[in-house]
Structure 1
């Protein structure tokens, strides 16, 4: 059984005035070729399929194109909800997509409902079980836990971690029961894996990742996951093993979602399973469909840096450029000076930053942020984080905000 593990596509992302539509279309076209070339049985997307709860129509169209194309290839698709995804948006077509060999797990429900059997590849309608998945999506605190009056922050953190661990254990128990049943029926062991969309202890994050459990849960302990053959994680955009463990992995986002990810090597993971468990994990590098380049320096050094960045762009597809000006950041005409340096080169400057030489700028990356970097949801989350609210109220306000944005977007359409 071979699974292609990917996550954090963020379809519909609006990036500093730029659409990622062309990149995501190229990604899907590339992925469909890889699925055939590497004999993939099933594709697993571990959350954050969409960038917002109310994705634009072209993002939904790309989503549908992926589902239909994989179905035509006889490849199963498992989609997990992430913290960026709307439960309602993912759930609205769940029954329809099930007919197309696609399973959508948008939100937490009864643990037994999160046990999914992924079949081996086949266009003849056969569904030979390839592996069992404890398909756990993003867990919102209100789904598994209620805070108690008088609890300290540490108590809340520990009780929430315990609740998430207990939920995983419930899904794992249901998975083990099905595994035993299939072994008796098939006469062979069917591998058991799990998923998650969260931050774990030992994972290395970056600026483009929004913290999930701010004030409640810093990271989920790796040891708290149940014993399975492989754990397919999403949320962290940098591909990595967790705690050096080969069977617990973030695949990372397939395209860079911010300039802080511009130098990362993006990949998807080919996960091979057999009756003994995990047979191997093979990273498959993803081509760069749009050049993102971040350069920095004073005005004397920037021309050479920009010339080097220009080598990554073409006249038809200029490189998107972030320029951070050091030392000369006090000058008022920096945009005009940068524009002169880029004149005639295949680059497009999306952002000019001034690197303030102050302790505040050194300590807090927010000092370099502009509104161009933040979505409306990010701004709302930042404002909400300044209030002392219970986790339940915080989640309720987040859901209300998502509902309002969706109603406005759908009304405008």
Structure 2
């Protein structure tokens, strides 16, 4: 059996105010081509389909158009997609009944039956091969919010609630599987040891409590398709537990990531291989600096002029980072003048004054409000008001308040 694993599409995302719809359209065209070429039996989309809980209409149209085109192209393809922390679980599940007609399974939330028993049946998806034979079972684990795994019957411990979901779902899957059928999990979570892109990945819980242990995934599970971290990576060097990474660079911090989709081969119940399929970058991200202003202006003047045969939508996004010795009130004008007639699209100017540094931005001193998480802002405000670092209990209280607010935002 052959699977494709992808995640973190972030449809509707903008890069410093510039929409990325063209890039997502190019990615979908490429992915459809890969599906046709490689003929996988299933496509696993591990969360963060959208960039916000209330995505723009165009982003929703992109998703559903892709699903229809994929089904028309490969009528026997199974698609499993789960909600991530950026998604609204309710929104993801809303068209589920219609999508099942396209062999697409959309899971946004977990539900509990009487006496604290997980409704595991709806989270177990049979995956079939080209002949219609069930060759694997997919354990679908959307991003688990505290309100879904804690409560009067479940207890107040968030991590214990998550462990209970994994245990009960794995037990149900083992009860369903037959000989030579593989178990495959799809999950959206921050696993301990994962490498984070600070500029574009939303922290899930303060104090690193969101970092879940890999032991949650029982050894009987042949492959774990993870979403949330944008850099492709294995968890604890286990070849069976992987983040595919995002198909697009979602910030300038991700310029050097290898963006990809993973192709997984299973033989019976065993994992045989995992191979990357590199996603071509439709629009390059270009960074000039950090350097003194004169040097930056020289580099900008050396950028190429537009190619009249090139689609303007493919012109690179540009970030300029300048080190200043004194205020430059006309900094934007100088940069715009240097970029006149150049084949780039300026999206951000970052400036620092000599001698300023900030550990939160790799020592370079460039910090932008959009790059700071609510936790960062709270910690900075606390330190400024009280002259010392915030304690862990206060951070935990803030985390709970933040989660409550985010949960309210997702109510339809």
TM bucket, shorter chain:
0.7 to 0.9
The number of equivalent residue pairs is: 381
Counterpart residue number, 1:205: 196
Counterpart residue number, 1:302: 296
8 Å CA contact retained: 2:206, 2:375: no
1:147-296 → structure 2 map (5 Å cutoff): 159-179=157-177, 182-183=178-179, 189-207=180-198, 208-215=200-207, 217-227=209-219, 228-296=221-289
Cα distance change, pair 309–283 in 1 and its aligned pair in 2 (3 A): farther
What is the deviation of 1:204?
0.6
Q: TM-score, normalised by structure 1?
A: 0.84
8 Å CA contact retained: 1:299, 1:328: no
What is the deviation of 1:329?
6.5
The two structures, once aligned, show a CA RMSD in angstroms of 2.9
The answer to whether residue 323 in structure 2 is matched with residue 326 in structure 1 is: yes
Gaps of 5+ in 2: 112-118, 383-393
What is the deviation of 1:293?
1.2
Secondary structure of the structure 1 residue equivalent to 2:319: strand
8 Å CA contact retained: 1:251, 1:267: yes
What is the deviation of 1:114?
1.2
Q: Please, which moves more after superposition, 233-242 or 67-76?
A: 67-76
Counterpart residue number, 1:409: none
What is the deviation of 1:401?
2.8
Counterpart residue number, 1:92: 94
Q: Please, which moves more after superposition, 222-231 or 254-263?
A: 222-231
Q: TM-score, normalised by structure 2?
A: 0.84
Q: Name the CA distance, whole Å, in 1 between partners of 2:326 and 2:320.
A: 11
Counterpart residue number, 2:40: 40
Secondary structure of the structure 2 residue equivalent to 1:288: coil
Q: Name the CA distance, whole Å, in 2 between partners of 1:342 and 1:78.
A: 45
Cα distance change, pair 369–108 in 1 and its aligned pair in 2 (3 A): farther
Secondary structure of the structure 2 residue equivalent to 1:68: helix
Counterpart residue number, 1:398: 406
The answer to whether residue 62 in structure 2 is matched with residue 57 in structure 1 is: no
Deviations 1:78-111 (A, max 9, x none): 1111001112211110111011100011112223
Secondary structure of the structure 1 residue equivalent to 2:293: coil
Deviations 1:262-292 (A, max 9, x none): 2222111001111141010000000001111
8 Å CA contact retained: 1:7, 1:45: yes
Secondary structure of the structure 1 residue equivalent to 2:211: coil
Deviations 1:216-271 (A, max 9, x none): 71411123322211111000000111121111110000001111112222111001
